[in-house]
Structures are given as C-alpha cells and as structure tokens.
Amino acid sequence: MPDPVDSGALRIVPLTRAHAEDMVTWRYDPPYDVYDMTGAAPDDLLDPALGFHAVLAGERLIGFRSFGPDGRVPGWDYDDTALDTGGGLRPSLTGQGLGRAAIAAGLAYGRDRYAPAAFRVTVASFNARARRTVESLGFEVVGSFAARRDGRPFDVLVRDETR
C-alpha cells in the first residue's frame, strides 16, 4: 500500500529534470496504459511550450499537470477560446480519490498564472473515472471525436471561468 497523501497540501511547481525522469518510467495497468509516457524523453517534458508542471505532496512527486497544446489530442478542431489542461497521477496513487484534488490544485494554479476565459480537458471516453472527476469540478461536455492516430473515442469538456 502506498504512503498516504494529504490531498489538502498539494502544490504545483515547475517541472524539474528529476521529475521528468521519474514520470517517463510510470506504467499504468490496462486499459489506462494508453497514458504511459513510453518513448517520451525527459527533455521533451521540460519544453516550456508544453507547460508541464509537477504536483507535489510535500516534496514527493505525485502527479503532473500541463497547460497548453500538450492537452490536445489530434482529431478535434481546437481553438483558442479555452486553455487546454491535462495531467496524470503516479500509477500507484490512481483510484484513491486524489485526482480531484490534483486537478483542482492545477486549475487554481492555471487560473492565477494564465487567467483563461475557460479551461478545456480532453478525456478518453472509456475513462469514466476521469470524466466523473472533471464533471464534479464544473466541466461540461461540448463534444466527442475519434483520435486521428488510432480512432480511439475522446470527449472534450469545458469549464467556463467567467461565471
């Protein structure tokens, strides 16, 4: 059993090389293995244009958030009316209710840093757990599509920040 994580004390910080090197080793059980970063180079994750940030509990890396184009899946007609955000948790911590706190911390950070009119997430349609989580945070489905690469279905959800 992994060490418990205090979900009320999560911090979002810039991604370091050590974080990136750790993240590329993460492997998820099927069907979530589609989220493995197999083949990703740590240097790619450190590219500021991709907007990767670490989610820490104390000094422990428990997940990541991204802001910008990394959250997009080819196949949807994205525009600039919302800031795309994505992320993930360390595989040993999934399914424990930490996702909501990690996403909420990321949204608060993104709101302060980028001040978007809206946030957008793209979720694999099979991932009911993630969809329930983002809907509980105020995201609403605006459409669905098949990914260009493999035809896998995805849902696009938006949360308006102007209300």
Q: Architecture of 7-160 per CATH? A: 3-Layer(aba) Sandwich (3.40)
Structure-derived torsion over alpha carbons of residues 156, 78, 68, 39, reported in degrees to the nearest 10: 80
pLDDT digits over 142-159, tens only? Answer: 999 999 999 999 999 999
The alpha carbon torsion through 27, 85, 64, 26 (nearest 10 deg) reads: 10
The ranges assigned to domains in the chain are 7-160
pLDDT tens, residue by residue, 64-123: 999 999 899 999 999 999 999 999 999 999 989 899 999 999 999 999 999 999 999 999
